[in-house]
Amino acid sequence: EIVLTQSPGTLSLSPGERATLSCRASQSVSSSYLAWYQQKPGQAPRLLIFGASSRATGIPDRFSGSGSGTDFTLTISRLEPEDFAVYYCQQYGSSPRTFGQGTKVEIK
């Protein structure tokens, strides 16, 4: 099983600042089958990024993903008020599919 470790656990930032979230895998994620999701309280997760760097339909370009192998990054270039949420990475290249434990982006 691939274990995904996200850091930091909580990121305290102000609107307009840049957010950098990390996701590290215990073994290489095949074909960069790595996704990022955003989850707000009481809502289902929302797909942001797939294939490590491709934005899902309707996702603003302030969200970008990068990385390969075992190290992946989600960057939010300028935080908007609606971006404060919990973010999860997920690998879907091997079974079982696994998620990271999440990074909470909170308002400073």
Q: How far is the CB of 97 from another protein (least distance, A)?
A: 4
For residue 95, state whether it binds another protein (rule: CB under 8 A). yes
Nearer to another protein, 65 or 83 (CB): 65
C-alpha 88/C-alpha 65 separation (Å) is 12
For residue 104, state whether it binds another protein (rule: CB under 8 A). no
Binding string, residues 32-71; x marks residues near another protein by CB under 8 A: -x-x-x-----xxxxx--x-----xx--------------
CB 46 within 8 A of CB 38: yes
Alpha-carbon distance values, 17 to 11, 50, 81 (Å): 11, 24, 11
